[in-house]
Amino acid sequence: MADTTEQTEQRECRTIHAGGEWLTAASGATREILDPADGRPFAVVAEGDEKDADLAVAAARAAFDEGDWPRTPAVERAALLRRVADLLIRDRERLGLLESRDAGKTLEEGRVDIDCVADAFRYFAGLVAAEAPGRVVDAGSADVHSVVVHEPIGVCALITPWNYPLLQASWKIAPALAAGNTFVVKPSEITPLTTIALIDLLAEAGLPAGVANIVTGPGHTVGARLAEHPDVDLVSFTGGLVSGVKVAQAAAPTVKKVALELGGKNPNVVFADACATPEGFDTAVDQALNAAFIHSGQVCSAGSRLIVEESVRDRFVDELARRAGKIRLGRGTESGVECGPLVSEQQRAKTEEYVASALAEGAVLRSGGRRPDPAPERPESGYFYEPTVLDHCHREMRVVREEVFGPVLTVETFRTEDEAVALANDTEYGLAGGVWTSDAGRARRVAGRLRHGTVWINDFHPYLPQAEWGGFGKSGVGRELGPAGLAEYRESKHVYQNLAPQPVRWFAG
């Protein structure tokens, strides 16, 4: 028998998962999830609060303190993570489509995201399965066995952003599980759907009840409660600087471990020698577009600051602006669309305000800077904004200093290598940056001088699961991916065993 509307809504609203059960919010509150391509609701989720967060933490605490997962052999934990990766690939089309509708990105971007999520689970499975059981420490005596072992840290609160919902969740969930932890994940209230789906896949793969828990709801209630909760041992947050500071402050009284990835204002430095050939010029322009406008610029590592050598500036920016104006905007599921909408009306309004302030401060608009005309693949009710190139920008402009998180590229120029490095480092953030040059010596020099956690040379945006991801300055603390990403979810214990104990005779008695 077909579901009634009431039954369907009731099922949809059970998006809080604690102790192996799907639940509605304790308050009964719900939230509509909007498709940013047309502004219309297409799903309903539970709107959790502090009570729901407490319930989920209690489930995770019990599963860690009393359950088998923390003591499950690493090889078995690795096998489960590999099963999850297989299930992700099995459901790639469904999850990619859901990510496209939820976050507004193109369907192809959604599919690639699912591939990357599966890669993350496989990487951490391989990493933990291949590890030695402990690091032997030489105590200088044959009668002493001394070893440093790694243990799970406990209950992890994982707070994820709206721009790459499942990918960012996987960078936290996969290492947390590989290390033997339990967790409560709070996805963005704007884009929670694929993270909800992942919880089902974890259960299907055989993860014990209570190990994986999710609370859908806003950051100021659910996120704040998780950050301060005395039974949470670690909080990992990816998002904006203001919210990250609040998370760190909430976590401080309980002295829990904190990992923060807080975005960036990332330079893409183009030297003239990179453009000396037609192929080199075309590639540098193409990659500058990719750096700035993939996922409508809603990427923490977006190359939103183009810093180009003065001698090629006019030719480079002319071609960049011409091609930016030809980017095809539309619903991410439509064929031929290259760039989707912004995630919300609020995000578009923020982008418009930054562009207006830049023009008022003297920037020159070379392309975009407006809402596009409606089209069949681009409803007027969608949150679309044209890819925008702002020329003649300088450090004093807000649009150059602050993270826009929209399809806006600013252009600055330099004459010398020292000036290029100074401009690239002149930011309170330090997440990522790019260097374009045909001079291998210059590439190494400049990359070495940039104060950014990731530096791409003659490329932009690729990442490797094996390499640590994180930033300098206000881009955050801690690392994700790579061995350091696994280490974030562990405690080290020194086990010192005296095989021939003797009295020390320090005291009379």
Relative to beta strand 364-367, strand 21-23 is unpaired
Mean residue pLDDT across the chain:
95
Exposure string for 468-499, b = 16+ CB within 10 A, e = fewer: bbbbbbbbbebbbbbeebbbbbbeeeeeeeee
pLDDT tens track for 441-461: 999 999 999 999 999 999 999
* Nearest one of 404, 161, 411 to 302, comparing CA atoms: 404
Place of tokens 């078995």: 76
| Whether the predicted pLDDT of 121 surpasses 60 | yes
Q: Tell me the H-state helices in 143-263.
A: 165-178, 193-204, 224-228, 241-251
Residue 390 has a pLDDT of: 98
Give tens-digit pLDDT for 240-294: 999 999 999 999 999 999 999 998 999 999 999 999 999 999 999 999 999 999 9
User: Of these residues, 275, 300, 339, 393, which one is catalytic?
Assistant: 300
Residue 380 designated active-site: no
The secondary structure element, H or E, covering residue 476 is strand 476-477
Active site residue 261: yes
Residue 185 · residue 202 · CB < 8 Å: no
Q: How far apart, in whole angstroms, are the C-alpha atoms of residue 49 and residue 30?
A: 11
For residue 506, name the pLDDT band (cuts at 50, 70, 90): confident
Q: Pairing mode, if any, of strands 432-436 and 454-457?
A: parallel
pLDDT category, 505, cuts 50, 70, 90?
A: confident
pLDDT confidence band for 5 (50 / 70 / 90): very low
pLDDT at 296: 97
Contact 14, 24 (CB under 8 A): yes
Whole-model pTM over 0.75: yes
Which tokens go with 316?
A: 């480079």
Amino acid found at 147: V
Annotated catalytic residue: which of 261, 352, 386, 412? Answer: 261
Mean pLDDT check: name the lowest of 118-122, 132-136, 216-220, 399-403. Answer: 132-136
Region 324-351: what's the mean pLDDT?
A: 97
Residue 509 has a pLDDT of 63
